[in-house]
Structure 1
Amino acid sequence: MTDIQPNLKLYRKMEKLPFGRFLFSQAVCFKAPYFRSIKPRILHLEPGHAQVKMRKRRAVQNHIGTVHAIAMCNLAEFAGGMMTDITIPTTHRWIPKGMTVAYLKKAATHVTAHASVEVPTPWPDSGELITHVDIKDTAGNIVAQMDISMWVTRRK
């Protein structure tokens, strides 16, 4: 892959600035407004890996005061999607196709999504790319795991 994805290029510039990662996260939420509901903050972003934090606050809690399961799914899609976007070649595009979810324990604290993927070499013209996401609490315990199926094809 010779070209760098535009989002990765922008992230690398912005992360060096004061509040750069915060502003980049805000820009992504402006482009995809649904993610604003969880107020994600990108902590780390590189091809094949991403870390994104979501604070535990009332808007993302369920009736028992823990982080809502669907808020964690939203966080997983944000992290997995951003990581996929900067990992695939500039000649390709992607869309989420499905997600399998395992809730392992209550998320009683802020949570961080750790997204990763095995990068195929060479890249096929089209195919399914499975993005794995672990959601961890502040103690480092995995509270949920997601596998997101991304459909990747060549741009037309």
Structure 2
Amino acid sequence: MAIDFPSHEYGSLSPLAAAAYEQMQATARLVRVALQLEWTIFTRFIVGVIVITLLTVVYLLFTLRKARQPLIIWERLNKPIIKLFRPWIFGRLLAKADPYAESIDLRVATFSKGFCTGFMRDHKRNRNPFKSIHATALATFAETIGGLAITSTLGKKDRAILTSLKMEYKKKARGLLTASSDFTPPQYTVGRQEVQTVVVIKDRMLDTVAIGHFDWAVDTKED
């Protein structure tokens, strides 16, 4: 950014012009050094954030890989920066716990006690001959979301086993789909009891494309 004048022209400048020229050169050098310093600090900061984020993701994937309570995993992923990757990380852990769920492109969007929503993208591998999403893909989507909603209300030693399901198909499913399940748990007692969950699947137009009804055998144990 330095401004160079030929020596013969510089010699012909008045003292005031020469002083102004020297001031311009000094300012240009100062700005250049400041920009280089700021860029170096900014670059180091960005690289540091990326490295820390990657290490944290690896650490969480390793430490949470055997966790059995999905809601606790979801809440532990609620950290700065990591939260941006929470749906993907949770999806990887979910696929490890339930490999069949990986057959659909499922991501959990919101998750709290008794409530879960998620979305599924439309891929060719999940389509039927009629160019809409296959019925079994919709059932897998609904069962996974409903299962998360019910397991979020259980204790560490409790288990929920699917005993029956019924799917109502209202409309051909195409494009991005969302599913939601709002489960109000009963007063659990030690032993086995039957509970039901309902999952509603909608498309981008908010039209209901399918409704899933699921019966679960919940086996609760003393803590």
Using structure 1 for the length normalisation, give the TM-score: 0.90
**Post-superposition CA distance 1:103-151 (Å, at most 9, x none):** 011112211111122211x212321110100011011111000111111
Matched, 1:12 2:98: no
Partners of 2:169 and 2:112 lie apart in 1 by 26
Structure 1 stretch displaced more, 44-53 or 84-93: 84-93
State the identity %: 26
Tell me: higher relative CO, structure 1 or 2? Use CA pairs within 8 A at least 6 residues apart: 1
**Residues 22, 41 of structure 1: 8 Å contact kept:** yes
Partners of 2:177 and 2:78 lie apart in 1 by 21
In the alignment, residue 50 of structure 1 is paired with which amino acid? C
Task: For residue 87 of structure 1, give the secondary structure of its aligned residue in structure 2.
Answer: coil
For 2:183, the equivalent position in structure 1 comes to 117
Task: For residue 111 of structure 2, give the secondary structure of its aligned residue in structure 1.
Answer: strand
Partners of 1:96 and 1:134 lie apart in 2 by 17
Partners of 1:150 and 1:23 lie apart in 2 by 27
Partners of 1:113 and 1:48 lie apart in 2 by 14
Runs of 4+ in 1 over 4 A off after TM superposition: none
**Residues 165, 212 of structure 2: 8 Å contact kept:** yes
Partners of 1:21 and 1:15 lie apart in 2 by 10
Partners of 1:124 and 1:78 lie apart in 2 by 24
Task: For residue 77 of structure 1, give the secondary structure of its aligned residue in structure 2.
Answer: helix
1:13-28 alignment, distance < 5 Å: 13-16=76-79, 17=82, 18-28=84-94
**Residues 150, 185 of structure 2: 8 Å contact kept:** no
For 1:153, the equivalent position in structure 2 comes to 219
1:77-156 alignment, distance < 5 Å: 77-120=143-186, 122-125=187-190, 126-155=192-221
Task: For residue 198 of structure 2, give the secondary structure of its aligned residue in structure 1.
Answer: strand
**Residues 15, 21 of structure 1: 8 Å contact kept:** no
Task: For residue 138 of structure 1, give the secondary structure of its aligned residue in structure 2.
Answer: coil
Cα RMSD (Å) of the superposition?
Answer: 1.6
**Residues 40, 53 of structure 1: 8 Å contact kept:** yes
More helix as a share of residues: 2
Deviation at 1:91, TM superposition (A): 4.3
1:29-108 alignment, distance < 5 Å: 29-108=95-174
Q: Which runs of 5+ in 2 are unaligned?
A: 1-67
* Structure with greater Cα Rg: 2
Using structure 2 for the length normalisation, give the TM-score: 0.64
Partners of 2:103 and 2:140 lie apart in 1 by 9
Partners of 2:114 and 2:72 lie apart in 1 by 15
